[in-house]
């Protein structure tokens, strides 16, 4: 019994996204006004908030669900930078 408590003592609780709208709101919440972020930076900030997200899945979600609706893309030196539309 004590071994189980010891093993799970340092485990970090991972948050899950409820649905697509929740995921969109959380992605938008990591941006500061006027900020342009790479996909990896968005992923890192979401991981800091406790979500388990990979860089590739996040970029695919942005492309299919958020691009040109919520975010705009700018290519700088071959790397995509995202910013919020209208801010």
All structural domains of the chain with their residue ranges:
2-84
Distances (CA, A) of 4 to 11, 13, 14, 16, 76: 12, 16, 19, 24, 49
Mean pLDDT along residues 60-87: 93
C-beta neighbour count of 59 within 10 angstroms: 18
Q: Which CATH number is associated with domain 2-84?
A: 1.10.10.10
Chain segment 12-60, per-residue pLDDT in tens: 667 888 899 999 999 999 999 999 999 999 999 999 998 989 999 999 9
| Rounded Cα–Cα distance for residues 29 and 13 (Å) | 20
């Amino acid at each position: 019994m004590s071994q189980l408590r010891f093993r799970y003592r340092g485990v970090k609780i991972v948050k899950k996204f409820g649905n697509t709208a929740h995921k969109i709101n959380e992605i938008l919440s990591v941006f500061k006004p006027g900020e342009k972020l790479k996909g990896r930076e968005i992923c890192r900030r979401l991981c800091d908030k406790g979500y388990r997200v990979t860089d590739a899945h996040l970029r695919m979600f942005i492309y299919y669900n958020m691009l040109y609706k919520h975010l705009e893309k700018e290519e700088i030196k071959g790397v995509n930078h995202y910013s919020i539309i209208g801010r």
